[in-house]
Structures are given as structure tokens and as C-alpha cells.
Structure 1
Amino acid sequence: MTAQPGRGPLDVLVVYVPVGDTDALLDALFAAGAGAVGDYRECAFVTRGTGQFRPLAGATPTIGVVGDLETVAENRVELVLHRALRTEVVAALRAAHPYEEPAFHVLETADLDPA
């Protein structure tokens, strides 16, 4: 049985991105196949918050200075992806994200309809 886009075992991707870079990141994630739910496409949930980090020696931060604590207006972006697309979607995230080390996590959802 061939998996239908947006159906089957899904993961949830959560990523934190500077507010001004959110649309470009979403475009890359959608192009890689993320954000498909049944007959809907480009589905995402975006909430605004404040991220913080301290770049250490050896880092080349996009924002901030090595050694200084930095706070940034960021969006938390959540979207689903077909589990089979995980590698491609994470690669698209890393390529499109402005940070040297983007903060993200991938969660496997329960398979509620194994048939």
C-alpha cells in the first residue's frame, strides 16, 4: 500500500526561528513535504516568544557575540510531516535556517490507524 501525502505515520517538527526568517523557513519546509494533513497543505502553528543563547568559543553566531548572553524575538513553529520524509525535512530545515545550530526537535506521533 502506498502512503498518501498527509496520511500515515506522522512526526511533529518543532523549530525555533527568528521572527523575520519564519516565512522563508516555512517555505523550505513546505517544499520538502512538511505541513500536509489529509487534504490540507501548508499547515503550521506559529507562536511568538523570546529565545536566548550564549555563543561559546568556536561558535560563529548569526546574531550576538561570543561569550555574551543574547535574547532574540523568535517564533516557535510546529508542523507535521510524514515520517518517511523526516530526513528530507530536517535537511531542508538545516539548509534554510539562519542559525549555525538551529534548535528543533522531532516527535513521533502515535499510529492511531495502522491499517
Structure 2
Amino acid sequence: MYKLCFYVPESHLEQVKKALFTTGGGQIGDYAECCWQVLGKGQFKPLEGSHPFIGEAQQLAVVDEWRVELVVVDALITKAVAALKAAHPYETPAYDVWKLADF
């Protein structure tokens, strides 16, 4: 099992979660569409040649973003990351994947 964590603006929060849930992400036992989310501030500076969804090249941007965490079974993690990238509005979405231990 893996934990997938990503950051997304509110405008695309439900769209990205739905894409991940459709792949089978967020299932824990007999429960589906499980995740944890919290609102925070993200910061980035688009470099020359980038095509930012939010912000301007060479200008620091600070934006409200949701941090979302959910679990994904081993067999679906590659498909889930592909779904995240396809549904996310950012040119380069910020995400991380952690391998979980089973105790």
C-alpha cells in the first residue's frame, strides 16, 4: 500500500479527487473515497519557459491550496499518479508517494 499526497487549488479539488477515486485510490477495507485534506498556503516562482496555471513567470506566487492524502494499493499506484497528472491543472503538480508498512 502507498500513501499519495498532493496539493491542488480549490477550483480543481473535487475533479482531481474524483479522478483518483475512479482509479481505486482511497479505499480502506470496506470504505471507499477515503482521504484527508487541509487548506494551506503554497508558494512557487514560475521560471522562464513555464506555462503557469496561476501566477506570472519570474514572480513569486503565494496561493491557497488543498493538501490531500489518500492510500492506494500497490497494483494501482502507477495508474493513480497518471490520473492525478491528467486531472490536475498545474503544469507540474506537486505530489509525493510513500510506501507504507503493514503491522
Q: TM-score range by the shorter chain?
A: over 0.9
Aligned-pair identity in percent equals 49
Gaps of 5+ in 1: 1-9
Alpha-carbon distance in 2 for matches of 1:23, 1:81: 17
How many equivalent pairs are there? 103
Match of 1:23 among 14, 21, 39: 14
**How far 1:111 sits from its partner (Å)?**
2.7
TM-score scaled to structure 2, two decimals?
0.98
Cα deviation, 1:7-42, whole Å, max 9, x if unaligned, reads xxx100000000221111100000011000000000
When normalised by structure 1's length, the TM-score is: 0.88
CA RMSD after TM alignment: 0.6
Whether 1:13 and 2:4 are equivalent positions in the alignment is: yes
Which residue of the other structure, out of 37, 51, 71, is the alignment partner of 2:28?
Answer: 37
After TM superposition, where is structure 1 displaced by more than 6 Å over at least 4 residues in a row? Answer: none
Aligned to 1:99: 90
Determine which structure has more spread, i.e. the larger CA radius of gyration: 1
Q: Deviations over 1:71-102 (max 9, x none)?
A: 11100000000011111000000000000000
Distance 1:74 1:40 in 2: 26
Partner of 1:5: none
